[in-house]
Amino acid sequence: MRLPRPRGPLSALTAHSLATAARSGAVISTDRFAEQLADMAPSCDILVDDDFQLTLWMLYELHYRGFDDVDPELEWDPQLLACRQLLERRFEKELRFRTGGPVQKALQQGEKGADLAAQVNWLIGHMGGPRLAPYLQRQATREEMLEFLAVRSVYHLKESDPHSFVLARLAGAPKVALAELQYDEYGAGRPARLHQTLYGDALAAAGLDSSYGAHVELAPGSTLAVNNVMSLLCLHQRHRGAAMGHLAAFESTSSIPCRKIAAGLQRLGFPPAVAAYFLEHVEADAVHEQVAVRDLCGRLVAQEPRLHTEVLFGVACCLYLDALANTHLLDSWQAGNPEPIGAGA
Amino acid sequence: MSILPMRPRRDQAVQIEPCPDGPVLVRGAEVVLDADGEEHEVTRPVVALCTCGRTQSKPFCDGTHKFLRP
């Protein structure tokens, strides 16, 4: 994968620095980056802003598979990490501000506020976004479905990879639960069943580019935020509780929508290999939901009670950002303006 | 749905974990028999068996229980 096209001054500065660092020796001026960040309009919603989220996404990608046109040494460059931290502080502050109310209300649910599963379910019931899956099931056009598949590929082609960073940050029963989940996500010993590979197969069967990162340029800021929040939570040891809460919310809101999406794909006449990915997740995520909420988050909070609120923060982050991304997609479709598919491939 | 007979993997006890208002998690099973006696191969480390009877993926849970009134 090569660096994506910048979407504003911040991502332009960052992409240029990443691309030229190997030749120039100098990476990036943190001061200049901070000035550029400060220049962003106060009214700018960083949770959906293309420039902000693409910049953060590029900096995080250095820790996954990197870019063909970027020196891999830059992964641990102190100046880049300092720039990333400036973005992360704003991102985290905004997320805490937007989710603080629901998290406090959730804490009051359940007997003596101790029933984590009931609180997770309360948040899911009260922070749901627009009904994207029913729309895909019954109404979406072929073009809209292709756009959905392409946009979601930013995550699904590296599905579960963020959470692998957390394994080393857990101990005992919660670690065992996460490892059990990851083993299933990673194909349970069968490379052909690796979920990332299943998604690549689905893209190829739908006639889309299945190479890693192929559709990043098509993804709006809100979708990049969905990806970035996982990196934010999973790359910081102090966020381990929120990272696992996010995972629990993700798994708990997946199996029923996946069945609807599979039905939509069948309605539109896509080959069975496309729906196969989603059908796999109907059963898999019904299991993962229970494991993530009970065995993973439940035991983590039993082990470290001070992580209770953090787990719920992670749940709320997942629900809030998923709702923003789904709203963006549905709004763009209702405006009758599906973006060209494969433009960034 | 009644408790279903299962064949264990070699040298491994089958573990059963009921989830309140949800499915039963089963670890260590190789095959699950449904109510009609049909065999379903277990291909993941842990499976969730439906207990509400409304799943469309019998005998496995598909999350439908969440739509049922408690």
- ipTM at complex level: 0.82
Q: Do B22 and A259 touch (CB under 8 A)?
A: no
Which of B34, B40, B43 would best serve as a mutation to test chain A binding (most A beta carbons within 10 A)?
Answer: B43
What's the average model confidence in pLDDT over A179-208? 96
Contact B43, A188 (CB under 8 A): yes
Q: What element of type H or E holds B7? A: strand B6-8
Q: Do A283 and B62 touch (CB under 8 A)?
A: yes
What is the 3-state composition of chain A as percent helix, strand, coil, each rounded to the nearest 5? 75, 0, 25
With 70 as the cut, is the pLDDT of residue A341 above it?
no
Per-position DSSP letters for A34-57, written without gaps between them:
HHHHHTS-TT--TTT-HHHHHHHH
State residue A16's pLDDT score.
94
> pLDDT averaged over chain A?
93
- Non-local CB neighbours of A272 within 8 Å, separated by 6+ positions: A205
Q: How far is B11 from chain A (nearest CA, A)?
A: 19
Euclidean distance between CA atoms A209 and A211, whole angstroms: 6
What's the average model confidence in pLDDT over B25-51? 89
Q: Do B44 and A259 touch (CB under 8 A)?
A: no
Name the more confident of B33 and A293. Answer: A293
Contact B56, B49 (CB under 8 A): no
Give SS3 for A211: coil
Euclidean distance between CA atoms A272 and A255, whole angstroms: 18
Q: How far is B60 from chain A (nearest CA, A)?
A: 7
Chain A residues in contact with B17 by the CB 8 A cut-off are 295
The pTM for the full model equals 0.92
State residue B20's pLDDT score.
87
Euclidean distance between CA atoms A180 and A178, whole angstroms: 5
Give the model confidence (pLDDT) of A88-128 as tens digits. Answer: 999 999 999 999 999 999 999 876 556 899 999 999 999 98
Closest alpha carbon within chain B to A285: B62
CA A144 from centroid of its chain's CA atoms: 20
Chain B residues in contact with A125 by the CB 8 A cut-off are none
In terms of C-beta density within 10 A (0-12 exposed, 13-18 middle, 19 or more buried), how is residue A40 classed?
middle
Closest alpha carbon within chain A to B27: A180
Two tokens, residue A259: 């069945």
Give the model confidence (pLDDT) of A204-219 as tens digits. Answer: 999 999 999 999 999 9
State residue A128's pLDDT score.
82
Which of A287, A296, A299 would best serve as a mutation to test chain B binding (most B beta carbons within 10 A)?
Answer: A287
Give the model confidence (pLDDT) of A26-49 as tens digits. Answer: 788 899 999 999 998 888 999 999
Q: Do B63 and A294 touch (CB under 8 A)?
A: no
With 50 as the cut, is the pLDDT of residue A344 above it?
no
State residue A79's pLDDT score.
93
State residue A317's pLDDT score.
98
Closest alpha carbon within chain A to B47: A287
- Among the partner-chain residues A117, A180, A286, the one whose CB lies closest to the CB of B48 is A286
Q: What is the DSSP letter of A112?
A: G
Q: Do A282 and B19 touch (CB under 8 A)?
A: no
CA B1, A298, A225, A70: dihedral to nearest 10 degrees? Answer: -110
Chain A residues in contact with B68 by the CB 8 A cut-off are none
| pLDDT class of A345 with cuts at 50, 70, 90 | very low
Euclidean distance between CA atoms B33 and B37, whole angstroms: 5
Residue matched to tokens 């550029």: A36
Give the model confidence (pLDDT) of A222-243 as tens digits. Answer: 999 999 999 999 999 999 999 9
- Among the partner-chain residues A183, A193, A255, the one whose CB lies closest to the CB of B63 is A255
State residue A342's pLDDT score.
44
- Non-local CB neighbours of A192 within 8 Å, separated by 6+ positions: none
State residue A156's pLDDT score.
97
**% of chain A residues with pLDDT over 70:** 95
Closest CA to A17 of A6, B1, A7: A6
With 70 as the cut, is the pLDDT of residue B69 above it?
no
Contact B49, B67 (CB under 8 A): no
State residue A335's pLDDT score.
85
State residue A176's pLDDT score.
96
Give the model confidence (pLDDT) of A141-180 as tens digits. Answer: 999 999 999 999 999 999 999 999 999 999 999 999 999 9
Give the model confidence (pLDDT) of A51-71 as tens digits. Answer: 999 999 999 999 999 999 999
Give the model confidence (pLDDT) of A67-84 as tens digits. Answer: 999 999 999 999 999 999
Q: What is the DSSP letter of B57?
A: B
